[in-house]
Structure 1
Amino acid sequence: MMAMAPLAACSPKEATQSADWYKAHDAERTAMVQRCAANPGELAKTPNCINATTAANAKTWAARGGIHGVKAPTFGAKPKTND
């Protein structure tokens, strides 16, 4: 176990990209989302997986017109009736 610790410290670290960067780079975003989906146990909470997934979700919502026109549900108040 102790012999592996120095090796882990020397491995090259992947650069972290922002969600905006992933929005602008379709191929890289798609590849990262697929990579994260293939190994969610190790990668799901990494910054690049979070940022790539956030970018993919934002692009999907934008393509569908966003959330404009969607009304939030109201709870607790009963609607008035004309009885």
Structure 2
Amino acid sequence: MMLALVAVLVGCKEGNAQEVVQTVEWFKEHPAERKAQLAKCNSNPGELAAKPNCVNASRADSSSVWSKRGGIKAPAPLTFEKNDKK
């Protein structure tokens, strides 16, 4: 009975192996790994979409796409011209 309990506990520990969480900056610097992570995330979005590596890879991908397009340009400041004509 004890042997079965030990086997179950060891099996649970192996099944919960923690994945190393990479930052957005890391995914920006490693496009091949970012592409692989996004493919993994897209293969099972119901379970993986909210996982830290999926979120960080997605943010890095979005950031790299926007930077290639020149980024988001700030609008020109609004000016007010007083019109004294009546």
Moved over 3 A (4+): 3-6
Higher helix fraction: Structure 1 or Structure 2?
2
> Partner of 1:57 in structure 2?
62
Aligned CA RMSD, in angstroms, stands at: 2.1
Q: Percent identity?
A: 41
For 1:9, which of 5, 9, 13 is the aligned residue? 13
Query: How many residues get paired?
Result: 69
> Partner of 1:41 in structure 2?
46
Structure with the greater alpha carbon radius of gyration: 2
Unaligned runs of 5+ residues in structure 2 are 1-6, 77-86
Unaligned runs of 5+ residues in structure 1 are 72-83
Aligned counterparts, 1:61-72, within 5 A = 61-69=66-74
* Alignment CA distance shift 1:54-1:8 (3 Å): farther
